Amino acid sequence: MALSGRFNNHPNRRQFLKTSTFALAGAALAKPLAWTSQSAAPTASASQKRLGVALIGCGSYGGRLLRECLQNHVSWQIDFPAVCDVWRPQSEAAADAIESATGKRPKIFSRYSDVLAMDEVDCVIIATPDFSHTSILVAAAYAGKQIYVEKPLAISLEQADAALNAVLQNNTILQVGTQFRSLPQFAEAARLVQDGALGKILKVDTIYNRKEFRWDQRDTSDVDEKDVDWEQFLMQLPPRPFDARQLRMWRLYRDYTAGITGLLGTHVIDIAHWLTDSGPPVSATGIEAWLIGQESETADFQECLFTYENGMVLNSSCRCGNSEPRSQINFYGTKGTLHCPFSTGATLTLSPDGASDADPVEAREIRPTSAPGHLENWFDCIRKGTTKTNADIYAGYAHAVTATLATQSAREGRRIHFEPSTKI
């Protein structure tokens, strides 16, 4: 099956930023958009004003991001005028935390459109279920808000196109929640690999394994239908009866995710794209299986081989039931090998092992150092008026397309080709 018209014929992100044009599908488009690096003009006194931040999605991921914001709200000069969640107890808990930390209670909404209508809101943090990321992102971009969105950026090619279009059309300052892009040791590794330390990259292995299949362990006994805005939860999906299990354990259901590669694999695939300066793949060949027998529409195992226009091959593996080998990313080039454990405190290892080149890389370790975190990088970019965040729209688009292709290939049982559109 060939999927055309989504991505131009340029092998890496550097070339995207210099030369390419992007042909986007969808009714919202009138013409292709230039794929170029853009900067958003900062508002008056953007470097000094307090920023109004709204949290959309107050569950576990949103809660972690909120805690970090509250720990730094004075130095980051941020206020919290609103929180939003379809399940009232979660939004109430977030509002309680904000009031306790700041002395001010935010407004509480179940509909994100009410948040976006507020002039006091400059930025939104989107930490909702995966299937709803894009709809909220697009609306927020057109409402003139700056956006932090959890990964994956999208769960379909159509969603990925819509997200890219909205961000580029509005010069939105977007940070995607692939936080490893703000770790200094990985940034140094990216510099070395892109400067040719490993020679030609032949293959990358990305592994994300977990012992348990934890997505079916959420408690639903405290969910009362009257506390849930079920229509808003479903977003663009067809109507269906209220189901507390779908609300709390949405990762089990096909409609809500891009499969286990979208849920887990995008973490490590994103690092592979970053270090090799790659866009999405041109083909995907995937398989999936249910290895530990839980009741779920989402397979607990996926493997996929991707090919890229520069000749690189990426092998992605995601599994629940056994966590060995530990999550990692390994790069194999003609001058040597780079081993990257997937850990914030990881030391990365560059070695000449396996080199075919007569001048292999020298062995060295790349150790972690301190640097501003992912949220801080986003706020800093907002104040500077630059869209060049650590995990920008190009990064998010690439990992979203890759996960979508993996799951589509696995579910259809055949290789999927992602054909670039004609050069303009």
Average pLDDT value for residue range 357-364? 96
- Taking alpha carbons only, the member of 372, 399, 365 closest to residue 192 is 365
What is the phi/psi pair of residue 317, to 5°?
-135, 130
Compute the distance between CA of residue 123 and CA of residue 136 in angstroms, rounded to an integer: 12
Structure confidence at residue 19 as a pLDDT band (50, 70, 90): very low
Average pLDDT over residues 334-354: 97
**pLDDT tens digits, residue range 62-97?**
999 999 999 999 999 999 999 999 999 999 999 999
pLDDT reading at 18 higher than 70 = no
User: Binning pLDDT at 50, 70 and 90, where does residue 49 land?
Assistant: confident
Q: Is residue 115 predicted with pLDDT exceeding 80?
A: yes
Domains of the chain as residue ranges with CATH: 30-179+376-392 (3.40.50.720), 181-215+255-371+406-421 (3.30.360.10)
Nearest to 253 by CA among 284, 294, 292: 294
Sign of CA dihedral 122, 133, 262, 229: positive
Give the pTM: 0.90
pLDDT on residue 329: 98
For the segment 242-251, the average pLDDT, to the nearest whole number, is: 97
Query: In whole angstroms, what is the distance from residue 281 CA to residue 272 CA?
Result: 12
Three-state secondary structure of 22-80 = ECCCCCCCCCCEECCCCCCCCCCCCCCCCEEEEEECCCHHHHHHHHHHHHCHHHHCEEE
Strands (E), 110-261: 123-126, 146-149, 174-176, 201-210
**Mean pLDDT along residues 257-270:** 97
For residues 154-174, average pLDDT: 96
Taking residues 413-418, report their average pLDDT.
Answer: 96
pLDDT at residue 295 in the model:
84
Average pLDDT, integer, range 236-260: 96
Q: Considering the chain, what is the average pLDDT of its residues? A: 89
Beta strands in 155-224 (DSSP E): 174-176, 201-210
End-to-end CA distance of the chain: 24
Give the least confident one: 37-41, 129-133, 159-163.
37-41
Q: Helices marked H in 240-390 — which ranges?
A: 244-248, 259-260, 266-276, 374-384
Look at residue 366 and give its three-state secondary structure: strand
CB neighbours (10 Å) of residue 66?
23
- What is the phi-psi region of residue 361: left when phi exceeds 0, alpha when psi lies from -120 to 50, beta otherwise? beta
Share of the chain above pLDDT 90, in %: 84
